[in-house]
Amino acid sequence: MRNPVLTCALVIVSVTAYGFGKPQHSKVSVQSTPKDGNLEFVFKIEPNSDMSVTFDAPWTLDIKNAEGLTLSKEKLKKSDLDQKLPGFKVSTTAAPKAKSGEVEYKLVSFICTKYKTRCYREVHKGKHNWAAK
């Protein structure tokens, strides 16, 4: 039989290390804007007031189910990160095939306390409705 204390400790470590559950230290805002016949998406992380972002870890953005859109990239890495936002910008490479739609995303960010005594891997999953003009 397994040790219940060890099992509980492993679950707690897994939740912290792998970011299961809802993000507690930041939120994500997503905007889509028509631009020169295409669409530009901005995925921006907004840390809680007592937290700050850290770029010392591998941020990622995965976009799925972008039907009707031809995106410049669907999988973005830390090298694609716009640190000034902080977040990611993604554009379509052709005009949208529909007037509106939805994209699904998973954004992994890293948030720390003000003095970086604790850091957290935050996994934001969601959907964004977009509309072309």
What pLDDT digit, counting tens, does each position of 41-98 carry?
999 999 999 999 999 999 999 999 998 899 999 999 999 999 999 999 999 999 898 8
Residue with tokens 């941020």: 59
Residue 67, SS3 per DSSP: coil
What dihedral angle (degrees, nearest 10) is formed by the CA atoms of 13, 14, 16, 17? Answer: 100
What pLDDT digit, counting tens, does each position of 2-24 carry?
554 443 333 344 444 444 568 99
Rounded Cα–Cα distance for residues 78 and 76 (Å): 7
Residue 25, SS3 per DSSP: coil
